Amino acid sequence: MKMKKHVRHVVLGFLMVPLAFFTVLVTPFVVKSTIPSASALASATFGYPFPFIQQKVAIFAQNTYFPLETTMYNPLTYETDILTGAFIGSVVVTALFLFAIAEAVIGVRWLWTSRGTGAVQKQIDLIKRVIMKTKQPITQTKKQMDI
């Protein structure tokens, strides 16, 4: 069954949202947070592309440990806040990024199919015909050169 192009975009967009949601949920456990100094140690933020989890950290570290790179701690042990605006923004940005990648892959795949190569070949033939029609002899007469 042949799917219209705009329907394909909508379906692909709806498929990217759950994938982006899952990807964003996993990022606090994968991406580390860097704490630059002891004064910033009271709170650590996690998440990507926008930090959407803020965790109150009670670690006593010496100044020689900084910058401290840490992963998210147990949310049951440490007080954890979820910033909903940053979370929704992260999901939207990730979904758009995944959608753009999927569209690029589908577009390149379309060029490899017989329909795509046929369309590209038609464009090349059209350009060749236009070039052939506009070709003029290069020779000039003495009168044309003097002008």
Full 3-state SS string of 7-44? HHHHHHHHHHHHHHHHHHHHHHHHCCEEECCHHHCCEE
44 phi, psi to nearest 5 deg: -120, 140
Helix H or strand E encompassing 108: helix 84-112
Q: Give the relative orientation of helices 114-134 and 84-112 as an angle to the nearest 10 degrees.
A: 70
Looking at the 3D structure of the chain, how many domains does it have? 1
Asked if residue 122 lies in contact with residue 116, where contact means CB atoms within 8 angstroms, the answer is no
DSSP class of residue 64 equals G
From the list 77, 24, 23, the residue with the least C-alpha distance to 53 is 24
> Which range marks the domain in which residue 98 is found?
5-146
Which tokens go with 128?
């060749």
pLDDT digits (tens, 9 = 90+) for 27-56: 988 888 887 776 767 788 888 899 999 988
pLDDT digits (tens, 9 = 90+) for 58-89: 666 666 677 778 888 888 888 899 999 999 99
Task: For residues 128 and 121, give the distance between their C-alpha atoms in angstroms, rounded to a whole number.
Answer: 11
Determine the pLDDT at residue 137: 52
Determine the pLDDT at residue 20: 93
Task: For residues 144 and 137, give the distance between their C-alpha atoms in angstroms, rounded to a whole number.
Answer: 13
